[in-house]
Amino acid sequence: MSNTQATTVRPRRAVLQMPEYHPPLAGRDGLRLDFNENTLAPSPKIAEVLQRISTAGLTKYPEREPVERIVAAHFGLNADQVLLTNGVDEAIHLLCEAFLEPEDEALIAVPTFFMYEVYVAATGARTQGVQADASLQFPLAGILAAIHERTRLIAIASPNNPTGAVIRREDILAIARAAPQAVLLVDEAYYHFHGETMLQDIAAVPNLIVARTFSKAYGLANLRIGMLAGNPEVLRYVRKVGSPYNVNGIALECLQVALADEEYVRWYSEQVRAGREQMEKGLAALGVPYWPSHANFVLMNIGAKHKELVAAMRKRNVLVRDRSSDPGCDGCVRITIGIHEHVEQGLAALKASLEEIGWQAK
């Protein structure tokens, strides 16, 4: 293969200018407190689903519609108000593709989930970021002031990643009213760790789209399944640009069982809420500044030694995520909150690592 020729084809201008995202795609061994995954397992009933999957059935293209009906009913919605996607990644991708012309603008609070900017850039549209102040709370006034006629997408994660901050329902409704020409995506990936949702508002707010993932509380990141809920006409445009076979069949099977086991997801979410309190108390005791979180992670400010901390934690087989390059997050490290035992392990590794690197509270 050493004789590979230089290619003669050029991509779209927007693709040349896109930022690249390089998350680890291999080798995440240890206690994974780096990607806000469920740290334990999905519902134990998922094991039964895997046991009863017939290999003969794997030959068949997946059938999304019956599962969309079940999911819609679970949330008290109609089937045409729900679109299942190959993770929320695909949901964001398709929303951008369906609604953003190159001359349009997308509006986000900064810092937030990186993929909004990536998929906006793929369309050639511009991302307008409104920086949060040092509190890392949602910059409502700045967002409202930044809306103009070319704003065609506003993406808000609530709880937000990596800050853990939330936005109030009335503020979301105010943004929706201020930008009727824009799709307002409220990404509720971390909903279960906070408990407030906009799902009940989608019928009345015709530009509101809610995203949910089954990768976090439900523990199914490996299967790639997410969901958009919103106005049927908006979703029809999103369906047009996507594949009818976007969600794999095993994910469709597992999703129904995971949704039905409400007790498990309630138990796991309670573990996280208790663990978050434990982590925040632990950080306070250590003198590490942090931002109060409504999600299954806590963002802490380590300062100049952030890289050393991540490396020291890794030596102890605990993975955490350096968020120092996020705007306004200089020196910050994010730690995922899981079940009690994993919070204990994370805190113990953190304490030992801070000692090892000679970190001092200010």
Which residues make beta-bridge pairs with 82? 229
State phi, psi for 140 to the nearest 5 degrees.
-60, -50
Task: Provide, rounded to whole angstroms, the least separation between the CB of residue 211 and a second copy.
Answer: 14
Shorter beta-carbon distance to a second copy: residue 66 or 327? 66
Tell me whether residue 11 is exposed, middle or buried, using C-beta atoms within 10 angstroms of its C-beta: 0 to 12, 13 to 18, 19 or more: exposed
Which residues make beta-bridge pairs with 129? 108
Task: Provide, rounded to whole angstroms, the least separation between the CB of residue 5 and a second copy.
Answer: 4
Shorter beta-carbon distance to a second copy: residue 93 or 276? 93
Dihedral angle of Cα 38, 191, 162, 306, to the nearest 10 degrees: -40
Shorter beta-carbon distance to a second copy: residue 21 or 267? 21
Q: Is the dihedral of CA 7, 11, 16, 19 positive or negative?
A: negative
Shorter beta-carbon distance to a second copy: residue 195 or 244? 244
Task: Provide, rounded to whole angstroms, the least separation between the CB of residue 169 and a second copy.
Answer: 17
Task: Provide, rounded to whole angstroms, the least separation between the CB of residue 30 and a second copy.
Answer: 12
Shorter beta-carbon distance to a second copy: residue 102 or 327? 102
Task: Provide, rounded to whole angstroms, the least separation between the CB of residue 40 and a second copy.
Answer: 7
Shorter beta-carbon distance to a second copy: residue 135 or 317? 317
Would you call the peptide bond into 159 cis, given omega within 30 degrees of 0 as the criterion?
Answer: yes
User: Would strands 105-110 and 126-131 be described as parallel, antiparallel, or unpaired?
Assistant: parallel
Which structure tokens are listed for 167? 């936005």
Shorter beta-carbon distance to a second copy: residue 26 or 141? 26
Sequential DSSP letters for 167-228: --HHHHHHHHHH-TTSEEEEE-TTGGGT---SGGGTTT-TTEEEEEESSSTT--GGG--EEE
Shorter beta-carbon distance to a second copy: residue 319 or 347? 319
Q: Is the dihedral of CA 241, 244, 248, 252 positive or negative?
A: positive
Task: Provide, rounded to whole angstroms, the least separation between the CB of residue 107 and a second copy.
Answer: 14
Shorter beta-carbon distance to a second copy: residue 9 or 361? 9
Residue identified by tokens 């963002």 is 299
Task: Provide, rounded to whole angstroms, the least separation between the CB of residue 286 and a second copy.
Answer: 28
Task: Provide, rounded to whole angstroms, the least separation between the CB of residue 254 and a second copy.
Answer: 8
Cβ(194)–Cβ(43) below 8 Å: no
Cβ(209)–Cβ(31) below 8 Å: no
Residues 6 or more apart whose Cβ sits within 8 Å of residue 316: 349, 352, 353
Task: Provide, rounded to whole angstroms, the least separation between the CB of residue 289 and a second copy.
Answer: 29
SS3 155: strand
